[in-house]
Structure formats: structure tokens, C-alpha cells
Structure 1
């Protein structure tokens, strides 16, 4: 059936050769830092406190373990498929090879939702931290130009400016973006280390009792929330075309960044809930609050700087991943192919970068920040499930295909990835399900009115039919 027409790995690789290919400039270290740059940000600086106060209490540590396990199983699947299919596009491309076009479009549509809404929300969060830091320095910006209309403002200018700047940076090239990312990752990791060093001696074990005030259901609900804090490791796989040695570097980048971030998340969660009562962490700056609670006011400024750096790297990598998903879908005719044009000087998809950056700028400048993290989680978890299923499908349909990285214990990893991701989806709010369903209705309209007939696979299918 044409709805399930598949692309071969050989065709995908050939499609990146010649003028359409991207320059190979990234190594394993770049990819680990790329993953850390996106993973550590809004989650560790905001969601840790909110999830502990409202859902899990000190058990938030277990929530991070649960979410981390789901990501670990999905990461192994991502690593195998990205080594088999060394083409940009992440879960979208993997699904095109394993389960066919309409399923791939569904995944790509979910990723567009994840990256676009996620980028806009992160940009708005960046604006809030920057405005707060400037205010602490005696610089007060007019509310009209720092708030969205729903909050009594006109336009969130800082959010628009940071989005525009990062779009320009991404258009210049990945090497320039990666260099900035390294600096920002180093700064935010240093700030997290300072927090742990300053706060750990002030831990009061009594604050960890009761450890599960909301029971296991609270841990599960907390895991569904803090999963947002892990979004980002999958972005590493979108950089596969720009890797010097993708078969080695992609698995190292994915698994390495996930391990580092999981350890840091658990450490920060343990210290936060040990320093102050978990019920007091329901605010937008739990790390800074904890430092003030132990009398270290100077630490608040350090944390603010670290948060700004952290959120900047998240936004940078979200926008990077967004453009690469658009690039892959444009190549396949799912969206207008004119968007796939590569800049002759910089070797980057400049049209897609500018269009995507413009959309994110508008959303972040005009919409309130309460675009819930659960919506991003829904799109990501959906993609993770299909990637895991794709590994199992390809093991059956293409058992002899070259696999530079083989997912270990695949008969355990694939079911566990599906079950854990499905479990987290089941713990998301009903409103998230409804919005996601509406988004997919729009997506199916786009697919059946444009994408299906303009698909790069359609001419081949028609030619084959005529020859038959």
C-alpha cells in the first residue's frame, strides 16, 4: 500500500551526497556536549522543584530514575538505528525505513510539535530569567516589552531577540554553534557544581521523611513531568550527517550525555529536597531559593547566570533539531522541497532555519509561557515508542543489514522501552491527549492533501506501476 511505502537505507544515503549533503565537522565530544546542552536546562532549574512539591516529594529522585530508565532503553534503540541510517531526521527517518511513510509522517509531525512548542516555551523562560537578573542589577525593563499580551504586555522582546540571534548563529554553521554550546555547557555545569558544593553540607536528613508523601502514584506522575528534563538526547541523532565518524560517535554522544545528565539530576534533586522541605520548592527558581534559604544570597546570582546559560543551550539545540527534522521532511516531499536548499557559502539549510526561527520568535513573543511541558513529552514519548518498535521490525525484515552498533538484549530493550514510555504517557493529563489528537487531525489533513502526492517516493511508485 502506498501509505506504507518505505525508503531504503541505500537511497537515503545517496540522497545526502552531492550538493544536498552537510559538512562533517562534529566529533564524539561535540555530540556529548550537544546532548548535555539540550538536556540540562529548564528541567533542572525549574521542573525539579515543581515536581517535588506537587507530585513526588523527596521521591522525585525515583521519578528521575524512572524517566531515565525509559530514556536509556530508547537511547539504545536510537543508537542502533542512527548507526544503520546515517542520515539526518532522527526518529522520523528511522520510522520511514522501518514502518513506512504515513507512520514516519506521524512521527515527524509529533517532532515538529515537540521542537516548535518546546523552543517557544524555553525562549520565554530564558526571557524571564534574563529580566529577573537585570532587575537584580537595578535594570528594570518595561513590562510592555517583556510580557506577552495575556500578561498585560505587548511583545516579549527578549524572547524574540534570543530566538533571532540563535537562528542566525545556526545559519552560519554548526561549528560556530557547537563552539558556543561548549562554552555555555561549561558555565552551567560549573554553576551546578557550585550549588552542590555549597548546599550539600546543609542537608537535613529529616527533610527526606516521608520519602514518598504522595505514594508511588506521585512518583509516576512526577516522572511524567520531569521527563521534559530529559528531552534532548535524541537531538544528537539529528546531527548524524555532520559527524566525522557517525557509527562510533552517535552512540557515544547519546548514551554519554544521558548518563551524565541522569547523575546530575539525581544529585540536584537529593540536595534540593534535603536542604529545604519539599513543599517549599513550588516556585520558578528552586535552586536559587534553596541557596537563599541557607543564607547564601550571593549564590542566587550564580544560579541565575547558570540558568540563563543552561536555557540558552536548550534553546540552541531545540532549534538545531527542529531545522534538521524540517530538512529531512522537505527532502522527502512531506513539506515544500524549496525549504531544503543548502546555503552555498555556509553549507547549512538557511531557508528552513529562518522559517523555523521566525515561527518560534512569533510564538515566544506573543504566547504565555504556560505552554505545558507535558505536550512536548507526549510528542517525544510517542516518537520513542515508534523508534523502539522500528528496531524490532528491522531485526525481522532486514536481519542481514549492517549494524555498526547493535542494541544489546533487543528482546528485552524494545518491550521495556515501549512499556515504560507508554506508562509515562498514561500519567500525562487528559488535556494533553486532547491537544495532541487535534494536532494530529491537522497533520493528517496536511498529509492527504499535500504530502502524499508530493512525496519523493510517489514518482518511483508511479513509474514502477507503469512499467508493470
Structure 2
């Protein structure tokens, strides 16, 4: 029994990970990681969440929900920055937790993140498909069978989602440099579109729409909170999904130039830019029209611009927004494939996932992620799983936050002295953990139940395959 528990908690030697990842080309710099982070964080959600959360939970105080969510995300981002600087290896939280806590904890954290990437790839592709078809609607409409996932409004397969997932996979299979160049260009276009909305929207603001800034509290028909600090808190849990993209930066640590400096700057820099854009969009949106006008509105930014008399600007912003969704898909597929590669590298999943091709790219893992993303996004309705993305990521965030306490004593010894350290140690790691826990508790019950089921599946796979393979080795 003692050997059993010793095996479960055995820690991976960071030098072994460094050797296994050494062949992956280090081609990504600070600007690439900032573009990757901004592209993943500032995705579809910036054009939808501010209006939706304002109408359902927070009113004009939706900006406070974004700021509070950003505060929690920022605390965790500091932990991520130190971890990525000290342990610049593929797999982000999965690999880090393997090193500082042991195998079973690394598996739990990595398995939780895997749910995020499987669902997020499908989620973003489906959103891109819906918006792309909306733009084409005046001139061309796909038949229902090819426009919707199986079982949804007569659909069989969302063919656009299939095409975009496969297209991004082909791009990534050619190498990181080409993908980074396209990512950088699309992120610039997307940020320009957001700035265009902010500038034009400022001309249509009415101060009365901000009063009262924090509406009086009452319970919604579905039992959720609206108004007061309760509504702001409910908004935080819903919004937090928008900020989790910085994990996609950390997952690519093994391909970073000068990672001790590059990783912290990429993680923290992208989050700062994202927060400023989210808060600005939220304040402009609720200033243009009363927050209640955004109830059940799937495209509040485009709607607000059209209602304010700017249909051409609305069309331009929405067209660029569709292109910008590719940046989130690129980021999620890059990170997800590196996580799968890490599982295969360690023998926790089939070893073929951990193989690099002649270009030193984990294309086997990319292919598996692509197939799963296509199956989920093209054939199955999955909108109800959106909060499950947040649930899995929050579990990993809690592990990483606590992991700083185990990392710090080893820095400069068997772990590289990082180029960045989390400030206010030992207080800030505890705050990051508690903040993540509070956001997790604010998720709806379906998300918690879903994450519990995913956890049980992961434990079965671990003891049925990964643990046995490691024992046999």
C-alpha cells in the first residue's frame, strides 16, 4: 500500500521533461505570445458577453464584473508567469503539477484542462460558423442539414465548423512560424475592429443609461441573481470564461525563445490588453442603450451600432470579428495539441501522441484533437457545456496557485531560477487559490456536475491505462 501511494505522488524530474521537449523548435517571441494570448482571450465573447451579462445579471455594473473577474484571473496569471518561467515545458499545468505535486495531481489538472480544449475548439468553431453564415445570409443560405449539428433544427452536420477546424489544423501542421504570422495579423485586425466600435460608440452614449449603475437586487425567473453585488458576482462567474485563454500561452512554453523572460511578458501583457478592451466595450455598450435592450441579444455590438445609425460600421466590425475568431481557434488548437502531446510523452495516453514528426511538431496529437473537435462541433449540440470549459480550467488554476508553495523552495536548485516571481509571496498564491475557488462555486450546478463526471472518467482512464503503463515501465 505504501508503494501504491508513493507511485501516485512520485514527482517527475524537470530535466527529463526538458530533454524530451528539447527537439521542439523555440521560435516564438514576446509579440507572438501576446498575439496568441489576446487572440485567444479576446475572442467571440467580447462581442457578446458584455451585453448578455449586463441584461441578465449586472446592469451597467457589468464593467465591475469584468474587473473583478480580471482581478482573479490576474492573480492566477502571476502564478502562471512564475511557473512558465521556471518550467518552460510543454503541457502547462499538467507538466508543472507533475513536477511539484506528483503524478496523480498532474493527471487531474491536465485532464481538467483537456475538457477545456476539446470543448473550446468545438465551441469557437461553431460560433465562427454561425457568424459566418449570418454574414452570408443576404446572398446565400446553406440548407439546414449542412448548417446545424445533428439533432438541432433539422441539422446533420455543421459543415462550416468542419472546414474551419480542419483548415486551422492544416495551418498548424506546417509549423509555428507560419501560424504565428497569421495569428499576429488577425489579432491586429480584431483589435482595430474593437477600437472602431469604441470610438463610434462613444458618439452615441447617453449618460442616463448608467443610472442606477448598480441596479437593485432581485432574483431572475431561473433563480439566478440580478442587480446588487449578488448580480455582479453572478456576472463574474459567467465572464471568467473570457479570461482563461492565457493558459494557451503557457502550453507552448517549450517553443518559446528565452522563456524565462518571454513567458511572463506574454502571459501578463496579453491579460492587461484584454482587460482594457473588455471593460471599454462593456462601458460603451451599456452607455449606448439601456442594458435591458440586450436581453436575449446574440449580437449586441452589431445591434447597438445599427440602432445608433451606423450599419456600415456594424458590418465591418462583424466581418472582422468573424476573421478574428480564427485567432481563438488557432490558440486553442495549438495549446490542446501540446497538452495531448504531453500526455503521450509521459505514457499516460498512447505513446503515439507524444511523437514529433520530421519538423519536430506534435502532429499526431494535433490530428486527434482535430478529429475530436470535429465530432463535437459538427455533429453534437453542446451549448450547455459552455460553463464546463470554465470549470475544468478553474480546477487547474487552483492547482497552479497552490503549486507556487512547492515550486519556490526548489528554484535555483533542481528547478531553474525563474526570470519572474509572483509578488507578495506567500499571500498572493493563497488569494489566487481562494479567488478561483469562489468563481468555481459561482458556476451553475450543471457545470459542477459535468466536471465531476469528467473527473470520474479521467480517474478510470488513469487507473485503467496510464497508471498501469507507468508501473509496467
How far does residue 458 in structure 1 lie from its aligned partner after superposition?
6.2
State the Cα distance separating 1:242 from its structure 2 match.
1.0
Deviation at 1:396, TM superposition (A): 4.2
- Of 124-133 and 359-368, deviating more is 359-368
Equivalents in 2 of 1:12, 1:404: separation in Å? 19
2: CA distance between counterparts of 1:193 and 1:268? 9
Structure 2 Cα separation of the partners of residues 247 and 58 of structure 1: 40
Partner of 1:146: 147
Counterpart of 1:105? 107
Q: Report the counterpart of residue 316 of structure 1 in structure 2.
A: 330
3-state DSSP class of the match of 1:395? helix
Q: Distance in 1 between matches of 2:15 and 2:412?
A: 16
Matched, 1:349 2:362: yes
CA offset digits 1:157-199 (Å, max 9, x no partner): 0001000000111111111111110111111111111101111
Residue 305 of structure 2 aligns with which residue? 291
What displacement does 1:310 show?
2.3
Aligned to 1:466: none
Match of 1:435 among 413, 435, 450: 450
Partner of 1:89: 91
Asked if residue 80 in structure 1 is aligned to residue 82 in structure 2, the reply is: yes
Instruction: Indicate if the aligned counterparts of 2:376 and 2:382 stay in contact, CA closer than 8 A.
Output: no
Deviation of the 1:398 alpha carbon: 5.6
Task: After TM superposition, give the deviation of residue 16 of structure 1 in Å.
Answer: 2.0
- Is there any run of 5+ residues in structure 1 with no aligned partner, and where? 460-468
1:270-325 deviation line (CA, Å, top 9, x unaligned): 00000011111131111001101101111221121122122211111111110010
* Residues 121 and 371, structure 1, Cα contact 8 Å, conserved in 2: no
The CA distance in 2 between the partners of 1:412 and 1:270, in whole Å, is 32
Q: CA deviation at 1:29?
A: 0.7
Determine which of 30, 44, 47 is the counterpart of 1:45.
47
CA RMSD after TM alignment: 1.3
1:11 Cα deviation after fit: 2.0
Match of 2:286? Answer: 273
What SS does structure 2 have at the residue aligned with 1:303?
helix
Q: In the TM superposition, what whole-angstrom CA distance separates every residue of 1:41-70 from its partner, at most 9, and x where no partner exists?
A: 121012221111101111110111111011
Of 229, 232, 235, 2:242 maps to 229
Aligned pair partner of 1:26 in 28, 46, 62:
28
Equivalent residue number for residue 177 of structure 1: 179
TM, length-normalised to structure 2: 0.93
Measured after TM superposition, the shift of residue 14 of structure 1 is 1.9
Other structure's SS at 2:252 match: helix
* Counterpart check, 1:334 vs 2:352: no
Corresponding residue for 2:18? Answer: 13
Structure 2: unaligned runs, 5 residues or longer? 1-5, 216-226
Q: CA deviation at 1:94?
A: 0.9
The more displaced of 349-358 and 155-164 is: 349-358
Q: How does 1:206-217 map to 2 (within 5 A)?
A: 206-213=208-215, 214-217=227-230
Distance 1:369 1:30 in 2: 31
Which residue matches 2:220? none
Matched position secondary structure for 1:372: helix
Q: Is the 8 A contact 1:385 1:421 kept in 2?
A: yes
Distance in 2 separating the partners of 1:15 and 1:37: 29
**Offset from partner CA, 1:59-83 (integer Å, 9 cap, x none):** 1101111110111111111111111
- Matched with 1:462 is none
When residues 255 and 398 of structure 1 are mapped into structure 2, their CA distance, relative to the original with a 3 A threshold, is: closer
| Structure-2 separation of matches of 1:453 and 1:379 | 25
Q: For residue 207 of structure 2, what is the aligned residue in structure 1?
A: 205
Among 256, 261, 268, the alignment partner of 1:243 is 256
The Cα offsets for residues 344-400 of structure 1, whole Å up to 9 and x where unpaired, read as: 1x3211111111101101111012251432111111111111001001122246675
Q: Show CA shifts across 1:408-442 (max 9, x none).
A: 11212101101111111111001111111111111
List per-residue Cα deviations over 1:122-162 (Å, max 9, x = no partner).
111000000000113x1222121111122211110000100
The residue number in structure 2 matching 1:450 is: 465
